[in-house]
Structure 1
Amino acid sequence: MTDHKPTKRRVLVDGLSTLYYEAGEGPVVLLVPGIASDPQDWFPVMDELALTHRAIAVSLPGLGGTSPGPDVRPSTMASFLMHFLDALEVDSVIAVGHSYGGLVVAELALRHPHAVSRLTLVNACGLGRAVHPGAVMLALLPERASDLLSAFVSLPGGAAALTLSSNLLLRRPWRIPASTWAAQFRLARSRQTLRTSMKVFRACGDITGQRRSIIVTDRLHEIDVPALVIWGGCDQLFPVWQGRTAARRLPAGRLTVLVGAGHVSHLDSHEEFVDALSSFVRDDHEHPRPSTRKTTGRGGPP
């Protein structure tokens, strides 16, 4: 039997030591986590995908093991991903991104359409102005205050903040494997990851919610590859209607709502998530005509 256990690797990208994990062989599925998250969160998903694909989970600059870069804007992160694929000599991927990672892979598909054969947005950032007030508060913190908060949370005992945030991001925390919790606690002790996460909050949010400059909803019609939007039906960070709108705007978009799942839907409802993603990744999809716009899946149109 083939061992599909993810292997930890590093590669130099734009001068940054970049952490990634990979498992399996075949067409490449690129998995991009959001902020305050870890590539290891994708391990249960990789176990399934690696049966037929080469699954790669990458850490973005400054987040979870990759050296920090000077700029956290989504467009810059998308360029980083493109250079990462070049370093691995990968021409095209099925791109999957969660939260901020979802916005980054959407930018990748928009800016480098040849590099993305299929796209999956998971509870993605950048699909509407609405966001939880807690995220707005973090976005409005001055840089000095953000650094002090990051230093406090990274201290012993600061993991209590992780427990509080899990109440916002997860609806079924008892379903999360112990190994994933351990990775999250290690991440919470990384001051660099916390500082970069705060920079992302400031770059993506303002007093009105998500910054207008990062919203990609009106550009989604340019992405004409098969696309899947997966959303936790109980997401408290971004409302589910943002996912419905995105699926309608994507020419080949479809929607799956995971009833009962929160913002981190691939952990909250792992089996349902894998069912939706694996069928999308493995099934044949006819390339639609530009005029075809249908949204299917659980949840339906609003």
Structure 2
Amino acid sequence: MSDLWTRKRRVLVRGLSTLYYEAGEGPAVLLIPGIASDARNWFRVMGELATTHRVIALSLPGLGGTSPGVDVHPATMAAFVADFLDVLEVPSVIAVGHSFGGGVAAELALDHPDRVSRLVLVNACGLGRAVHPIAIALALLPKRGADALSGVVSFPGGAGALALSSKLLLRQPWQIPPMTWKAQYVLARSRQSLRTSLEVFRACGGITGQRESILVIDRLREITVPSLVIWGGTDPLFPVWQGRDASRRLPKGRFTVLLGAGHVSYLDNHEEFMDALGPFVRDDLPGAPTPEPTNTGRDQQ
């Protein structure tokens, strides 16, 4: 998607300069990235959805251009997102969240149910204890160690960490557009984004994996809006069974596995990702076929 069709904007939310990108008109779709990723990573998704929807890609506080200052717990971030929607005067959205952003989207649907008309969880956190050992190691870093690591990685020579993280997060890096790699490189050089990302690891993880305080799996039955869970079939960070279990607990849940995709599945396998997301977002538009009322979590291939 060309930058010419994407509007880069800032608003004040709780006194914080908040960065977001916007494209298209119509019902609102909110895209929430995870940590160590950038709102610009959603540009290809924005380009396809903007033909029928107003698509907003938000940078969370301390990540990717938005000022820090909000506690990094997913529920606190979700409250910030609700305030952001108030500032934009957007009553409700189709909320799409990836990884940590998926945990934020789930909390938004649970704590502010009137703000979410549909929910999409993409390789989301908070759906089970299991997590890759590297995430546990980062969670166990003391604060001083995390600050030191963010400083080292942000140096020019520390960009090698981008290559290492890509091997963990992606399975098909050759599928990634150059502008996305450029955005990732800039993000990897941001000490603030790195520091906040490590804060998220420390707040959300521990020796036994994902912390009990961020788990929403037992509350998913409270989310009654149509929901879609999308997972990379070879995600090493969060196992695919967490997504399948989550879809079965959602009253109107559907589940799609993207074969060959890793943790950042919407970049690894963009075409199949849009094959799942596009109809789910658009199936209430005039002239669209009426969807089945519920789906109890069967795999959608």
TM-score (ref. length: structure 1): 0.95
One-letter identity of the residue aligned with 1:283 = D
69-78 or 129-138, larger mean C-alpha shift? 69-78
- CA distance in 2: counterparts of 1:5 and 1:243, whole angstroms: 33
One-letter identity of the residue aligned with 1:81 = V
Describe how 1:1-302 pairs up with structure 2 within 5 A: 5-284=5-284, 288=293, 294-298=296-300
- SS in structure 1 of the partner of residue 157 of structure 2: coil
Contact persistence 2:35–2:197 (CA under 8 A): yes
- SS in structure 1 of the partner of residue 136 of structure 2: helix
Question: Unaligned regions of 5+ residues in structure 1, if any?
Answer: none
- Spell out, residue by residue over 1:68-114, the C-alpha distance to the aligned partner (whole angstroms, 9 max, x if none): 01411111100000000000000010000000000001000000100
Contact persistence 1:29–1:53 (CA under 8 A): yes
TM-score (ref. length: structure 2): 0.95
One-letter identity of the residue aligned with 2:209 = G
Residue 286 of structure 1: CA displacement? Answer: 6.0
279-288 or 254-263, larger mean C-alpha shift? 279-288
Aligned residues: 294
- SS in structure 2 of the partner of residue 228 of structure 1: strand
Q: Please identify runs of 4+ aligned residues in structure 1 that moved more than 4 A.
A: 285-288
Contact persistence 1:132–1:238 (CA under 8 A): yes
- SS in structure 2 of the partner of residue 157 of structure 1: helix
Residue 213 of structure 1: CA displacement? Answer: 1.1
- SS in structure 2 of the partner of residue 235 of structure 1: coil
- CA distance in 1: counterparts of 2:158 and 2:280, whole angstroms: 39
Contact persistence 1:226–1:287 (CA under 8 A): no
Sort the Cα spacing of 1:24 and 1:109 in 2 relative to 1 into closer, same or farther, 3 A.
same
- SS in structure 1 of the partner of residue 57 of structure 2: strand
- CA distance in 2: counterparts of 1:49 and 1:78, whole angstroms: 23
Contact persistence 2:220–2:249 (CA under 8 A): yes
One-letter identity of the residue aligned with 2:29 = V
- CA distance in 1: counterparts of 2:187 and 2:174, whole angstroms: 19
- Spell out, residue by residue over 1:171-225, the C-alpha distance to the aligned partner (whole angstroms, 9 max, x if none): 0000000000000000000000000000000000000000011100000000000
- CA distance in 2: counterparts of 1:4 and 1:148, whole angstroms: 38
- CA distance in 1: counterparts of 2:279 and 2:260, whole angstroms: 21
Residue 298 of structure 1: CA displacement? Answer: 3.0
- Spell out, residue by residue over 1:113-164, the C-alpha distance to the aligned partner (whole angstroms, 9 max, x if none): 0000000000000000000000000000000000000000000111101101
One-letter identity of the residue aligned with 2:256 = T
Question: Unaligned regions of 5+ residues in structure 2, if any?
Answer: 285-289
Sort the Cα spacing of 1:42 and 1:6 in 2 relative to 1 into closer, same or farther, 3 A.
same
One-letter identity of the residue aligned with 1:272 = E
- CA distance in 1: counterparts of 2:182 and 2:291, whole angstroms: 41
One-letter identity of the residue aligned with 2:107 = E
| RMSD (Å), alpha carbons | 1.3
Contact persistence 2:248–2:298 (CA under 8 A): no
- SS in structure 2 of the partner of residue 97 of structure 1: strand
Contact persistence 1:225–1:287 (CA under 8 A): no
